[in-house]
Amino acid sequence: MRLIHTITILSAILWMTAAGNGYAQQKEERGVFTNRFADNWEVSFGLEGLSFYSTKEDGLNIPKSPFKSYRGNYGASATVGKWFTPEIGLRTKASGYWGKAIIGITPAENDIKFYAIQEQIMLNLTNVVTDYNPTKFWNIIPYAGFGFIRNCTHNENSIGAGCGFINTFRISDHMKLHTDIGITFAGENYSETGKENVMGRFHWFSFEVGLQFNLGKHAWNHYMNRSGEKMQMMAVNQSFEQLRNSKKKNIEYKKVIADTAVPEGMMMINRGHLRLGSEQDSLWGFNNPLRDISVDDFWMDKTEVTNAQYRAFIQDVCDSIIAQRMEDPYYQGDIEKVKASLYVINPITGEKTLDTRQILYVYETYDYAEAQKRKYRLDPRERVLNTDIEVDENEEIWISKDTAYVDASGRIVRETVNRPFTGPYDFLNTYIVSIYPDTTCWVNDFPNAKNELYTKYYFSHPNYKDYPVVGVTWEQANAYCAWRTERMKAEMGDEYKDEQPFRLPTEAEWEYAARGKTQNEFPWEHDKAGDGKGLFFANFMPEEGDYTEDGNIITSRVGVYPMNSNGLFDMAGNVAEWTSTLYTAAGVEQMNNINPQLKYNAAIEDPYSMKRKTVRGGSWKDSESHIRSAWRTSEYQNQPRSYIGFRCVRSVALTPSEKTVITVTDKKK
Amino acid sitting at position 330: Y
What is the SS3 assignment for 237?
coil
Confidence (pLDDT) at 632: 87
pLDDT at 620 over 90: yes
The C-alpha angle 99, 103, 104, rounded to 5 degrees, equals 110
d(CA 249, CA 43): 54
For residue 288, name the pLDDT band (cuts at 50, 70, 90).
Answer: low
Share of the chain above pLDDT 90, in %: 40
d(CA 235, CA 218): 29
Confidence (pLDDT) at 196: 52
d(CA 57, CA 203): 12
Would you say 437 and 472 are in contact if contact means Cβ atoms under 8 Å apart? yes
For the ranges 29-33, 553-557, 567-571, which has the lowest average pLDDT? 29-33
What is the SS3 assignment for 268?
strand
Confidence (pLDDT) at 255: 32
Confidence (pLDDT) at 3: 45
Confidence (pLDDT) at 13: 43
The fold for domain 268-303+496-653 equals: paralog of FGE (formylglycine-generating enzyme) (3.90.1580)
Question: How many CB atoms neighbour CB 379 within 10 A?
Answer: 8
Would you say 641 and 635 are in contact if contact means Cβ atoms under 8 Å apart? yes
Could you give the residue ranges of the DSSP H alpha helices within 21-167? Answer: 23-28, 57-60, 107-110, 125-129
**Strand duo 412-420 + 576-582: pairing:** unpaired
d(CA 203, CA 53): 5
Confidence (pLDDT) at 131: 67
- 204-236 pLDDT, tens digit each: 889 999 999 988 766 665 443 333 333 322 322
* Domain 2-221 CATH class label: mainly beta
For residue 442, name the pLDDT band (cuts at 50, 70, 90).
Answer: very high
Average pLDDT of the residues in 334-339: 91
- 14-69 pLDDT, tens digit each: 444 444 433 333 333 344 566 677 788 999 999 998 888 776 676 667 777 777 77
Average pLDDT of the residues in 514-526: 84
- Give kind and range of the element (H or E) at residue 443: helix 441-445
For residue 245, name the pLDDT band (cuts at 50, 70, 90).
Answer: very low
Q: Quote the crossing angle between the two packed helices 307-326 and 474-492, to the nearest 10°.
A: 70
**CA 11 remoteness from chain centre:** 33
- 253-271 pLDDT, tens digit each: 333 333 345 788 899 999 9
Confidence (pLDDT) at 598: 86
- Give just the sign of the alpha carbon dihedral 296, 302, 304, 309: negative
Please, is 34 exposed, middle or buried when counting C-beta atoms within 10 Å of its C-beta (0-12, 13-18, 19+)? middle
- Give just the sign of the alpha carbon dihedral 455, 602, 275, 252: negative
Q: What b/e sequence results for 419-441 when a residue is b if at least 16 CB atoms lie within 10 Å of its CB, and e otherwise?
A: eeeeeeebbebebbbbbbbbbeb
Confidence (pLDDT) at 128: 84
Averaged confidence pLDDT in the chain: 80
For residue 318, what are the contacts with CB-CB under 8 A and spacing of at least 6?
342, 354, 359
Nearest Cα neighbor of 296 from 213, 209, 370, 226 is 226
d(CA 87, CA 569): 26
Q: Is 265 left (phi over 0), alpha (psi -120 to 50) or beta?
A: left
pLDDT at 192 over 70: no
What is the SS3 assignment for 325?
helix
Confidence (pLDDT) at 9: 45
For residue 185, what are the contacts with CB-CB under 8 A and spacing of at least 6?
3, 4, 7, 160, 161, 162, 202, 203
pLDDT at 585 over 80: no
For residue 199, name the pLDDT band (cuts at 50, 70, 90).
Answer: low
For residue 189, name the pLDDT band (cuts at 50, 70, 90).
Answer: low
Of the spans 425-434, 468-477, 511-520, 585-594, which averages the highest pLDDT? Answer: 468-477
Higher pLDDT, 498 or 146: 146
pLDDT at 237 over 60: no
d(CA 224, CA 32): 8
* Domain extent listing, the chain: 2-221, 223-259+655-669, 268-303+496-653, 367-433
Higher pLDDT, 220 or 515: 515
Confidence (pLDDT) at 494: 77
Confidence (pLDDT) at 505: 97
Confidence (pLDDT) at 130: 76
Average pLDDT of the residues in 544-560: 85
d(CA 259, CA 268): 13
pLDDT at 666 over 60: no
pLDDT at 459 over 90: yes
- 354-399 pLDDT, tens digit each: 999 999 999 999 988 889 999 999 888 888 898 888 888 888 899 9
Nearest Cα neighbor of 476 from 627, 343, 640, 656 is 640
For the ranges 100-109, 542-551, 591-600, which has the lowest average pLDDT? 100-109
pLDDT at 250 over 80: no
For residue 513, what are the contacts with CB-CB under 8 A and spacing of at least 6?
269, 300, 505, 566, 568, 571
Could you give the residue ranges of the DSSP H alpha helices within 289-390? Answer: 307-326, 335-340, 368-371
- DSSP letters, 573-616, are BSSEEEEEEEP-TTTTTTS-SBS--------TTS-GGGGEEEEE
pLDDT at 338 over 70: yes
Confidence (pLDDT) at 19: 41
Confidence (pLDDT) at 239: 34
Strand partners, 467: none
Strand partners, 169: 138, 177
Going from the C-alpha of 246 to that of each of 234, 236, 654, the distances in angstroms are 21, 15, 32
Share of the chain above pLDDT 70, in %: 77
For the ranges 285-289, 305-309, 420-424, which has the lowest average pLDDT? 285-289
Average pLDDT of the residues in 277-286: 52
